[in-house]
Chain A
Amino acid sequence: MKFKRPDCLTKESMHYCPGCGHGIIHRLIAEVIDEDYKESKIIGVAPVGCAVFIYDYFNFDFVAAAHGRATAAATGVKRSIPDALVFSYQGDGDIAAIGTSEVIHAATRGENFTAIFVNNGVYAMTGGQMAPTTIPGQVTVSSPYGRDPKVQGYHIKLCEMLVPLDGVAFVARTSIHNLKNIELTKKAIKRAFEVQMNNEGFSIIEVLSNCPTNWGLSPCESMKRIENEVLKYYSLGIFKDKGRGI
């Protein structure tokens, strides 16, 4: 196998910080599209947050949404062009705080698109503030004494919240902290896109990712942190796959 840049990625250099997980996740999406959807109509919906420039890195159409509203915009897109593969790409601040209402209702309606939810536990672009997904004890610039559930409440487990909704066809939480999990993430994306193209309903993949810059860790240390700390609060796996009876 020849290692090369996927066809649907542009030659643009990514703006992400060194060691950031977005680059890996972008590549996985690109590989799946190259492998399975070469001829398909594709529309991505970009978020506000670190991945705000995602449309620069893929060579297919994009709609750039307002903060938190990507799942609402994606609803309008997919309903307008039902035969396109549509995915929103959103961070935790975007989808699990300001966009909670939009994602829950898109999921409830069974909107036939895929949300790719990158969870690194902080608002990274604005400088590392506490996110709804920040785990208990985690120090951020806006939880400087560590997140205390008694004061700041608990971390949100979006996947678990979405599983019981009837409109939801596929829910998985994966991680990119090592090769095995990177491979599993790609499989989950592949399956989610398949579920979408089979018109089964809403699909979402939460990808546990890292933020070396705002975590104050080296890229390697940040991957270890996912494994040693983050996974204690967020279990991995396929929580729901309607079509396969899971």
Chain B
Amino acid sequence: MKILMKGNEAIAEAALRAGCDCFFGYPITPQTELLQYMAKKLLKSGGVFIQAESEVGAINMAYGAASCGKRVMTSSSGPGISLKQEGISYLAGAQLPCVIVNIMRGGPGLGNINAAQSDYLQATKGGGHGDYKVIVLAPSSVQEAVELTMKAFDLADKYRNPVMILGDGMLGQMMEVVEFDDSYQPQKMEKPWAVTGDRNREKRVTNSLYIVPEELEKHNLKLREKYKKIKENEVMVEEYLADDARVIFVSFGMCARIVKSAVNRLRQAGEKVGLVRPITLWPFPENELKSYASKEEVEFFIDIEMNLGQMLEDVKLSVEGKKEVHFYGRTGGMVPTIQEIMDFYYSLEK
């Protein structure tokens, strides 16, 4: 059945359907409806919902519940995610599954509450301390947000790793028609590491402390192996009219949707352009971009973002200098229009 839902609420509903047992959050615009939806539904269904005293409190409650093997979610927006970074590093260090939603707003600092893609670097490059990675999924529609939220719980459990849903204020606030697959059943995974308090077995400890340097190095190398496996198996990317394209647009999330419309218009005007949209921002689809960069007919790339070029480094690294990468972005909560994108394209063609 198709229903009209606000992005934030659709993500919350998807989480519930994915078996989310516990939600810990703190209000911040533009993600608050997610918390409100959880408040309404989770307690009634016997789950745990706490509006924490701060984002720091929320992520550390999530750490505690994730330690117990629960399916756990927390959500916030840029400034709040900055506060959660401490806990995200600990979750990654202790190898705990947790789904973290970041409905981005403009930054830095208090910035504003408009749609922006200002947290790409923070999400994909760490944010917290230490050598760790978070799987980052970037939906470009409410329907996709639903599907990726469900997948996020499975990925988090599968790899015992935090997974972030990275959307922007537009995704959180807009209403779209969504369809939930009623036959979907959340994957139940054994968690032989979970702290349950049971005294009839070897004790279990969830911890990120390895005081002996040799042991910490071993732990970090083990994490690296895990991240390598994630890179090999979990890259998701949408390639749109890119097969015969002469110019490849790269864009993610809601911004990519506007770019897609620009690609359609340019195609109508006879321009051979296409779009490559990373769905996983980490692991980044570097091989896919690299293969386009190696194609003779591809002349250059255009990266479009709602920031000042945070993904640009990843695009350039993937392209390996084989082709030029141009950048156009709007910042401060400004959303590029189809016309602006087309104008930028034509300005390069001159």
Question: Is A72 an interface position by the 8 A CB rule?
Answer: yes
- Stretch of A79-87, A203-211, A212-220, A232-240 contacting B (4+ beta carbons < 8 Å): A79-87
If A60-B203, A64-B208 touch, does A76 touch B65 (CB 8 Å cutoff)?
A: yes
- Nearest A residue (CB) for B208: A64
Mark interface residues in A80-115 (1 if CB within 8 Å of B CB, else 0): 110011100000000000000110110001000000
Q: From residue A75, how far is it (CB to closest CB) to chain B in Å? A: 5
- Nearest B residue (CB) for A73: B64
Q: Give the chain A neighbours of B204 by CB distance below 8 A.
A: 61-62
Q: From residue B114, how far is it (CB to closest CB) to chain A in Å? A: 29
Contacting pair B205 A73 (CB below 8 A): no
Q: Give the chain A neighbours of B209 by CB distance below 8 A.
A: 52, 64
Q: How far apart are the CA atoms of A118 and B211 in the complex, in Å?
A: 23
Question: Is B22 an interface position by the 8 A CB rule?
Answer: yes
Number of A-B contacts (CB under 8 A): 136
Contacting pair A101 B65 (CB below 8 A): no
Contacting pair A105 B53 (CB below 8 A): yes
Question: Is A55 an interface position by the 8 A CB rule?
Answer: yes
Contacting pair A80 B22 (CB below 8 A): yes
Q: From residue A66, how far is it (CB to closest CB) to chain B in Å? A: 5
Question: Is A41 an interface position by the 8 A CB rule?
Answer: yes
If A61-B195, A61-B198, A66-B86 touch, does A101 touch B63 (CB 8 Å cutoff)?
A: no
Contacting pair A72 B203 (CB below 8 A): no
Q: How far apart are the CA atoms of A36 and B286 in the complex, in Å?
A: 58
B54, B64, B205, B208, most chain A CB atoms within 10 A: B64
If A73-B67, A79-B65 touch, does A61 touch B60 (CB 8 Å cutoff)?
A: no
Contacting pair B206 A75 (CB below 8 A): no
If A75-B64, A105-B52 touch, does A61 touch B196 (CB 8 Å cutoff)?
A: yes
If A41-B196, A42-B197, A101-B56 touch, does A64 touch B22 (CB 8 Å cutoff)?
A: no
Q: From residue B213, how far is it (CB to closest CB) to chain A in Å? A: 16
Q: Give the chain B neighbours of A41 by CB distance below 8 A.
A: 196-199
Contacting pair A80 B48 (CB below 8 A): yes
Q: Give the chain A neighbours of B90 by CB distance below 8 A.
A: 65-66
Picked from B60, B196, B207, B208, the residue with its CB within 8 Å of the CB of A76 is: B60
If A72-B56, A101-B53 touch, does A64 touch B197 (CB 8 Å cutoff)?
A: no
- Nearest B residue (CB) for A60: B203
Q: How far apart are the CA atoms of A144 and B60 in the complex, in Å?
A: 34
If A79-B22, A79-B50, A102-B53 touch, does A72 touch B64 (CB 8 Å cutoff)?
A: yes
Q: Give the chain A neighbours of B67 by CB distance below 8 A.
A: 63, 73, 76-77
Q: Give the chain B neighbours of A69 by CB distance below 8 A.
A: 56-57, 60, 63, 86-87
B69, B86, B196, most chain A CB atoms within 10 A: B196
Picked from A39, A46, A60, A65, the residue with its CB within 8 Å of the CB of B60 is: A65
Mark interface residues in B180-215 (1 if CB within 8 Å of A CB, else 0): 000000000000000111110001111111000000
If A42-B199, A81-B196 touch, does A75 touch B50 (CB 8 Å cutoff)?
A: yes
Question: Is B113 an interface position by the 8 A CB rule?
Answer: no
Q: Give the chain A neighbours of B21 by CB distance below 8 A.
A: 80
Contacting pair A55 B53 (CB below 8 A): no
Contacting pair B197 A60 (CB below 8 A): yes
Question: Is A178 an interface position by the 8 A CB rule?
Answer: no
Contacting pair B87 A62 (CB below 8 A): no
Q: How far apart are the CA atoms of A72 and B83 in the complex, in Å?
A: 14
Q: Give the chain A neighbours of B345 by CB distance below 8 A.
A: none
Question: Is B298 an interface position by the 8 A CB rule?
Answer: no
**Which residues in chain A, 117-170, are within 8 Å of chain B measured between CB atoms?**
none
Mark interface residues in B82-94 (1 if CB within 8 Å of A CB, else 0): 0000110010001
A45, A73, A86, most chain B CB atoms within 10 A: A73
**Which residues in chain B, 45-81, are within 8 Å of chain A measured between CB atoms?**
48, 50, 52-54, 56-58, 60-70, 72
- Nearest B residue (CB) for A104: B53
Contacting pair B199 A72 (CB below 8 A): no
Q: Give the chain A neighbours of B87 by CB distance below 8 A.
A: 66, 69
Q: Give the chain A neighbours of B53 by CB distance below 8 A.
A: 101-102, 104-105
Question: Is A74 an interface position by the 8 A CB rule?
Answer: yes
Residues of chain A having any CB pair with chain B under 8 Å? 39-43, 45-46, 52, 55, 58-66, 69, 72-81, 84-86, 101-102, 104-105, 109
30 contacts between A and B (CB under 8 A): A40-B197, A41-B196, A55-B207, A60-B199, A61-B196, A62-B204, A63-B63, A63-B64, A63-B206, A63-B207, A66-B60, A66-B63, A66-B86, A66-B90, A69-B60, A69-B87, A72-B52, A72-B58, A72-B64, A75-B57, A75-B64, A77-B64, A77-B67, A80-B70, A85-B197, A86-B197, A101-B53, A101-B54, A101-B56, A105-B52
Residues of chain B having any CB pair with chain A under 8 Å? 21-22, 24, 48, 50, 52-54, 56-58, 60-70, 72, 86-87, 90, 94, 195-199, 203-209
